[in-house]
Amino acid sequence: TNAAPNPFNGNVTLGFESPAGVSADKPMVRVYNILGQAVRSIPLVSRTTGSVEWDSRDDAGGQVASGVYFARIESARRVSNTLRLLYVK
């Protein structure tokens, strides 16, 4: 799992390889703020490897504030390693 560019301004590409068994559990990338609050959920439709892009917006479409964010792949049964992201406006 990786992120590029990091730090980022605007969009960041999150490369991933889902842990074994995740693909059957409707996996998604979840992005959390420094307080541990989920700010964005990006579904991974039937994919176990690849990349997704996060546009630095929350689930409501609002621009997030500059700061540290964490991204990880989650499913009903598994959680991947956590990526640390730095968003700078």
- Residues 8-33 pLDDT 10s: 999 999 887 765 555 556 788 999 99
Report pLDDT for 47. 58
Per-residue confidence of the chain (89 residues) as pLDDT tens digits? 688 889 999 999 988 776 555 555 678 899 999 999 999 999 887 556 678 899 999 999 999 999 999 999 887 777 777 899 999 98
pLDDT, position 9 = 93
With H, G, I as helix, E, B as strand and everything else as coil, classify residue 77: coil
The two tokens of residue 68 are 């540290």
Q: Are 18 and 48 in contact (CB under 8 A)?
A: yes
Are the C-beta atoms of residues 68 and 85 closer than 8 Å to each other?
A: yes
Q: Which of 76, 71, 82, 79 is nearest to 24 (CA)?
A: 76
